[in-house]
Amino acid sequence: MKRLTVAVVSRNYFNLPLWIARTAGLFAAEGLDVTIDHIEGIEEVNARLRDGRAQLAYGVTEHVILDAEAGGRSAIIGGNVNKLPFSLIARPGIEGLEGLRGKRIGVSSLRAGSSSLVMKLLAARGLNWPTDYELVPCGPILARWDLLRSGGIDAGLQGTPLNRIAMEQGFVSLCEPRDEVPHFQFTSLDTQLDWASANRDTLLPFLRAFLRAHERFYVEREEANAVAVAETGIEMRHADLAWEEYTRDAIFPRDGEVSAAGVQALIETSALIRDLPSRARAQAEDYIDRSWLAEARASL
């Protein structure tokens, strides 16, 4: 069995295709022993991919762009969260995005990820960081949920199904970012190109299992829901709500591919927010290597 490690962010629904591949024996069928390393912190996921502790990652796509601009060898080779499955959830009593003036908003990191999206949404309402609100780097979705419930933050993006759970508990949704930004590559399957080139006989079997897992997610509803419940601890009804949204809106790509439109939207949002206007002239495909997935698909 060939061994490899995939770094992922926390135990959230985003990881479901990998969990399905492991539970259904798709990795084992390809002769792979895959460790899924759940990490609380998006910066650490990126660091482990760069230094080789992980060979693949479900990482925040903006990190790949930042790394490539700095001369790194990171590349996007597959999709993950190709559209935004979020609501901007706030504590009761806050009304509208304008109600976030002077408030504390939880984000995964100040450097990349949810912070760019929050800044873009609020700038459209005349609220600018850092003068009009505070961003609190508190880690991924589960950490933001804990802080929202404890009062440590006033608002934060929550992904399906935690957004639905939050509203059931009396929290309010200020907006659905996907309504305003229909295409946005939030996370993707990433690797280092040097590792990929040197380990073709490991990467291609992994990608075959990756492709099969995405198709299986769409056609095996009960199995997908059972895996989600076992891995995240959510209730079955919430797992089913998530499955409906993710399949209806193609949040997980059925073909495993990254969204060029989603990456382009991310580039332009990040360039606007992070004062790197040259990045807005870059093309999405500059950061994507589709050859690996194409070769794996041809060998199925």
Tokens of 197: 């080139």
Of 176, 130, 147, the C-alpha closest to 40 is 147
Find the mean pLDDT for residues 180-185: 91
Confidence of residue 280 (pLDDT cuts 50, 70, 90): very low
Q: Is 115 helix (H, G, I), strand (E, B) or coil?
A: helix
- The reported pTM is 0.92
For 275, counting Cβ atoms within 10 Å of its Cβ (0-12 exposed, 13-18 middle, 19+ buried), the class is exposed
Q: 73-77, 90-94, 113-117, 241-245: which has the minimum mean pLDDT?
A: 113-117
Cβ partners under 8 Å of residue 112, min gap 6? 42, 60, 62, 63, 66, 270
Q: How far apart are CA 245 and CA 85, in angstroms?
A: 8
Find the mean pLDDT for residues 252-278: 82
* Residue 229 Cα distances to 129, 210, 238, angstroms: 37, 20, 9
pLDDT tens digits, 120-146: 899 999 999 999 999 998 877 888 889
Tokens of 67: 């790394």
* 8 Å CB contact between 90 and 155: yes
**CA Rg, the chain, in Å?**
18
Confidence of residue 279 (pLDDT cuts 50, 70, 90): low
- Structure confidence at residue 244 (pLDDT): 97
Domains and CATH numbers, the chain: 2-83+184-298 (3.40.190.10), 86-180 (3.40.190.10)
- Structure confidence at residue 277 (pLDDT): 52
Find the mean pLDDT for residues 268-297: 78
Find the mean pLDDT for residues 157-162: 92
